[in-house]
Structure 1
Amino acid sequence: MARVVVVGSINMDMVVTTDTFPRLGETLFGSRFATFPGGKGANQAVAAARLGADVTMVGCVGDDAFGAAMKATLAREGIDVSHIRTGKEATGVASITLSGGDNAIIVVPGANNELSPEDIDRASDAFANADVILAQLEVPLDTVLHAARRAREHGKPSFLNPAPAVALSDELVSLTTLLTPNEHELATALQTPAGWWAEVLARMPGRIAMTHGKEGAYFTQADGTLVHQPGFTVEAVDSTGAGDTFNGAMAAFWHLGIEAAVLRANAAGALSVTRPGAQGGMPTLAELEQFLAQQS
């Protein structure tokens, strides 16, 4: 069982389903509304926990109904919530519009913006006992950098899903064991021209696993050889949590090596889009193993 510490955001997702996306100034009728637990950090924590990892969440919520609900939801997944602090701002929310399996999302960070380097230091014992530290960019960048520094001090691999995409400092890149961007996020994070991703992966062998939608994922071996892990064909219902599922799976299976981890992460991501909700579709370890057995 991998021990994973997730440093990241905790949101409540408010999801509207429509036939088409509204244009500027247009009002449409939707067909469905629901709330789902979300936030990239919480999503990735749930994904890793369902796939068998022992997960600790480091985050911040508001003193409100959404915050209480999110902590309870994570605890029900078997996640250690003792390092989730209650801040002054409201719990973060995401407004999500779904149409035809695609999504458009607006995030209001709220209490996520209060997650601080001091919160990382208070979780020192969890860092010391972890096998993988996993972070994203829906919390302050200084906090993410501090987490990467602490991971290095403890001799732990540090994963970074650079989303939402921003340019990363040389220090953060050097401290990161594995980057898990899509093509756009990779170009933004490392400030490289669009379309140069193969060259970038070759320059950082074994340190990038790049997702590419239905095509699957790409990574390079230690000698710089480019490897394509094809995607899996499924009937998509809601693509919201696919990337987060991929990241949680990479952390849960990292001990198997990058090739085996990417295979399983791709399959888990594919399964996640077959049910609604960012966390609702995330598979269990048993479901993942059954799905992989059916593919062989």
Structure 2
Amino acid sequence: MEKNIRIAAVGDNCIDFYDNTGEIFPGGNPVNVAVYVKRMNGNSSYTGVVGTDYFGKFMIESISKKGVDTSHIKVLDGKTAVTHVEVKNGDRILGDYEEGVMKDFKLTEEDIEFLCSHDLVVTGIWGMVESELHKIKDRGVAVAFDFADNPDQKILDKALPYVDYAFFSNDNSNDEELHKFMKYIKSKGPSIVVVTRGEKGSMAYNGNEFTKLGITECEVIDSMGAGDSYIAGFLMGVLEGKSIAECMEKGVLSSGITLGYYGAW
């Protein structure tokens, strides 16, 4: 009998506003992961905050339609976060970010109890919950964290001791440089360190060995959400008891689907 996997995503959400077309897409790293988990037949929830504007209503309705539990999304008086986006040659270029009510996002004890009812909690550098991760870790719940491509040292220091699966993005460093970096990150607490490298594929380190995996050829329409898709696939693999290489393969397959259409999902 297959395990009923439950992943809690918590932190930022934002409307991706495509300036050159006027299109809007719901997104944000934790939101995207929650949706992709559902796409792979897992169960997921999203905990965060939206504003009282149209975008807030649109965000909640969009996430709900994907089957994600939205019971812990708070609505605060103000504007929902917006990221301005432009697409050039299949690559998305991020412009201005309007934080809106996200600046007032704080977890309550009831939120933490809810998060800890899942198998794993995933967040990232814009989620504003790094100071609360110890409460989740103390209850024996696994934590995954997306540090993206420019990790803030303060966030690293706060989060790493309580993170089990640390994700980074780096398509500039060579293998030797990455090995040194990943060993350093591993020494700070995580069980597994993963770096996605764009066209170079990805690399994982568990303290004993490095595992590398290339990319799968696919048509690239829009790269929005590709990294989050990889994270969702990798974490589903972890909770399914797969090997690191198999988790990476699951991440690559998930990412390939997302690259084939506009918007994160």
TM (normalized to structure 1)? Answer: 0.79
Equivalence for 2:131: 145
2:250 corresponds to 1:264: yes
Deviations 1:105-152, CA, capped at 9 Å, x for gaps: 13222122221132xx22233223211110012232xx2320x21221
Match in the other structure for 1:248: 232
Opposite residue 7 of structure 2, the aligned amino acid is V
Residue aligning to 2:49: 60
- Aligned: 1:13 with 2:16: yes
Q: Is the 8 A contact 1:127 1:154 kept in 2?
A: no
Equivalence for 1:125: 113
Tell me what 1:172 maps to.
Answer: 159
- Contact 1:201 1:226 (C-alpha < 8 Å) held by counterparts: no
Q: CA deviation at 1:194?
A: 11
Instruction: Structure 2 unaligned segments of length 5 or more: list them.
Output: none
3-state DSSP class of the match of 1:232? coil
Cα separation, 1, equivalents of 2:207 and 2:131:
25
| Alignment of 1:228 onto 2:209 | no
Give the TM-score normalised by the residue count of structure 2.
0.88
The match for 2:5 is 2
1:178-197 CA-to-partner distances (Å, cap 9, x unmatched) read 11111279x9xxxxx99722
Q: 2:198 aligns with which of 213, 216, 230?
A: 213
In structure 2, the CA distance between the partners of 1:184 and 1:234, relative to structure 1 (3 Å rule), is closer
Q: For residues 195 and 108 of structure 1, what CA distance do their matches in structure 2 show?
A: 38
Distance 1:164 1:202 in 2: 17
Q: Does 1:276 align with 2:257?
A: no
Determine if contact 2:171/2:200 at 8 Å carries over to the other structure.
no
Answering whether residue 95 of structure 2 is matched by residue 111 of structure 1, we say no
Equivalence for 1:45: 34
Among 174, 180, 193, the residue aligned to 1:199: 180
Larger radius of gyration: 1
Summarize the Cα distance change of 1:46–1:89 in structure 2 as closer, same or farther, 3 Å threshold: same
1:22 aligned residue = none
What does residue 154 of structure 1 align with? 139
CA distance in 1, matches of 2:158, 2:82: 30
How far apart are the structure 1 equivalents of 2:101 and 2:149? 17
**Does the CA-based 8 Å contact 1:8-1:135 persist in structure 2?**
yes
Contact 1:137 1:164 in 2 (8 A): no
CA distance in 2, matches of 1:117, 1:194: 38
Corresponding residue of 2:124: 136
Q: Distance in 2 between matches of 1:13 and 1:79?
A: 19
Q: Is the 1:214–1:232 contact (alpha carbons within 8 Å) kept by the matching residues of 2?
A: no
Distance (Å, rounded) in 1 between the aligned partners of 2:157 and 2:11: 21
Deviation of 1:216 (Å): 1.4
Aligned to 1:101: 90
Would the aligned equivalents of 1:56 and 1:126 in 2 still touch at CA under 8 Å?
no
Aligned letter for 2:98? V
Maintained 8 Å contact 2:195/2:204: yes
| 1:198 to partner: Cα distance | 1.1
Q: Secondary structure at the match of 2:116?
A: helix
In the alignment, structure 1 segments of 5+ residues that lack a partner are 17-29, 188-192, 280-296
Aligned residues: 253
